[in-house]
Amino acid sequence: MRAALYTRVSTAMQVEDGFSLDAQLDRLRAYCASQGWTIAGVYTDEGQSAKTLERTALKQMIYDMTLRKIDVVLVYKLDRLTRSVVNLYELLQTFDRYTVAFRSATEVFDTTSATGRLFITVVAAMAQWERETIAERSREGQIQMTREGRWSGGNRPFGYHYREGQLTINDPEAAVVREIFQRYCSGQGIATILHWLNHPQRLQLAPNGHWRQWGLKYLLRNPLYAGYVRYGYRIKSVANQRYQGKPLIVRGQHAAIVEEATFSQAQALIKQKATTPRRDGTGKFPLTGVLYCGLCGARMTGFTWTRAKGGVNLRRYYVCVEAQHTRLCPMPLLRQEVVEGEVLAELAFQFEKFAALTSNRPLLDHGVQKKQQITALETQLRDVRKRSKRWMDAFESGHINSSELRQRLDGLKMREQEITLQWQTLQTEPSPTERNELKSILSSFHNTWESANIEEKKQLIHSVIDRIELRPGPKTGRIYSAQVTLTFKT
């Protein structure tokens, strides 16, 4: 029989005895030798969880099944393959579809019989039940610790040491925490406090080397600094983390860093600012909402500078939010007229480009060319995967060691990601018909822009552009030029 050897280690288990990749492979090779099987391939997922089937080597193994290269899948233990009952059923159905058996080298599992399939399902169900039971007991333990006034764990809170199960004050960090609350309660906003915390000439102590907006807001809302502990502040959801309505909050055993009255004043200010109506958002900057920093990826917003000297002098700029709030991005202030002028110039260039494409090339030619490019990329992807398979074979034959294998596979994985990105770009490229529609809009864009008000300009930009990436260009005197990259809506 042709056996596929599947091995996996999670990040936390890579150094545990008996679970290393080499130890698993040695056991699997010995098992194949005892059964008289030939090794069809070695499939290794390193540092990946068994809770999902989205694993590179596992998907490659299933692909090879479709090519009828495998007769049996051999693993060290069942939990190397999966820990989920649902995923196990899905895998067994796939194995059955391609007449592939499943064996474990250390457990009595045989999927060739109904009894064997029942047994393996029951064992997997028990494994999932055990994992869920452990998680439930862990939650219960954290709730009980909170009720007793003890911190229930997680990342060490800024301002405290955690030693022998107790939180004790870290004096240098606690001084920063007190200053943050004092500044906020005196009327300073989040942006102003971030400027102080991240100022390059007087950097303050920070949780991860520097302060960000989310971390500062979390600190100001955390009752731990007033001497309380809480559980259930955030809950997991399918899409992201959301705040839980009523977390458990109990007086803690640790010392407070700020007085309770100061913390209460900060919470009242937070609530007051959250209910203050905001401006309608149209402002004087039509590119906001689609304009992003090309240096750090953050959004860009508008900034108006006023100078009263012989009359009011207004200058408007686009500024990176990350640079504005944390000073961690080197993006300079870019003049509004420079940025918007460059966007209009790029739109004019795109209009000429689309006009040439739609008038000088038959629609069929473009479609054929695009299909040929996609086919070529798919051929390159298959070639990269074949090369990965050859390196796995070389490792299985003993020609290279595991470190050399990982080095080779890492390089091929990067190449595969590059090709995949190119393939996805071609798939979403506008068709010639869509180009014609865009051409019609762009042909009248400049005239419409000149006669439109700010709100109409914003609507016009949003109707055709999905994203604008902005980078600073060469500097003339004190003024930077701008470089833009446009992504059109499809």
Q: How far apart are CA 7 and CA 317, in angstroms?
A: 55
Local structure of 50: helix, strand or coil: coil
| Residues 76/105, Cβ–Cβ less than 8 Å | yes
Question: What ranges in 100-228 are assigned the alpha helix state H?
Answer: 114-147, 171-185, 190-197, 213-221
- Are 212 and 250 in the same domain? yes
Which of 234, 251, 274 finishes a domain?
A: 274
Domain that holds residue 338: 281-490
- Are 245 and 119 in the same domain? no
What average pLDDT is seen over the chain?
Answer: 80
Q: Which two tokens stand for residue 68?
A: 């009828």
- Are 314 and 224 in the same domain? no
Q: Which one has a higher pLDDT value, 425 or 15?
A: 425
Residue 362 has pLDDT above 50, yes or no: no
Q: Per mean pLDDT, which range of 230-239, 323-332, 414-423, 467-476 is the poorest? A: 230-239
CATH number of the domain at 46, please. Answer: 3.40.50.1390
Rounded mean pLDDT, 237-246: 47
Query: Within a domain: residue 287?
Result: yes
**How many domains is the chain built from?**
3
- For the segment 464-485, what is each residue's pLDDT rounded down to a tens digit? 888 999 999 888 888 899 999 8
Residue 242 has pLDDT above 50, yes or no: no
Q: Give the confidence band of 165 by pLDDT, cuts at 50, 70, 90.
A: confident
Query: Within a domain: residue 347?
Result: yes
Query: Within a domain: residue 296?
Result: yes
- Are 317 and 219 in the same domain? no
Rounded mean pLDDT, 175-196: 90
- Are 307 and 231 in the same domain? no
Q: Which one has a higher pLDDT value, 266 or 403?
A: 266
Query: Within a domain: residue 100?
Result: yes
Rounded mean pLDDT, 312-322: 82
- Are 248 and 391 in the same domain? no
Q: How far apart are CA 120 and CA 128, in angstroms?
A: 12
The whole-number pLDDT of residue 275 equals: 64
The whole-number pLDDT of residue 168 equals: 94
Rounded mean pLDDT, 373-388: 82
Query: Within a domain: residue 137?
Result: no
Rounded mean pLDDT, 162-182: 93
The whole-number pLDDT of residue 111 equals: 73
- Are 374 and 486 in the same domain? yes
- Are 96 and 211 in the same domain? no
Residue 239 has pLDDT above 50, yes or no: no
Local structure of 142: helix, strand or coil: helix
Q: Phi/psi at 55 (nearest 5 deg)?
A: -125, 135
Instruction: Write out the catalytic residue numbers.
Output: 10
- Are 267 and 293 in the same domain? no
The whole-number pLDDT of residue 212 equals: 82
The whole-number pLDDT of residue 278 equals: 47
Which residues contact residue 434 at a Cβ distance below 8 angstroms, ignoring those fewer than 6 apart? 490
Query: Within a domain: residue 239?
Result: yes
The whole-number pLDDT of residue 282 equals: 47
Q: Give the confidence band of 363 by pLDDT, cuts at 50, 70, 90.
A: very low
- For the segment 278-316, what is each residue's pLDDT rounded down to a tens digit? 444 446 889 988 999 988 888 899 888 776 555 556 788
Residue 252 has pLDDT above 90, yes or no: yes
Which of 114, 132, 150 finishes a domain?
A: 132
Q: Which two tokens stand for residue 392?
A: 């796995």
- Are 351 and 370 in the same domain? yes
Which of 228, 245, 274 finishes a domain?
A: 274
- Are 287 and 435 in the same domain? yes
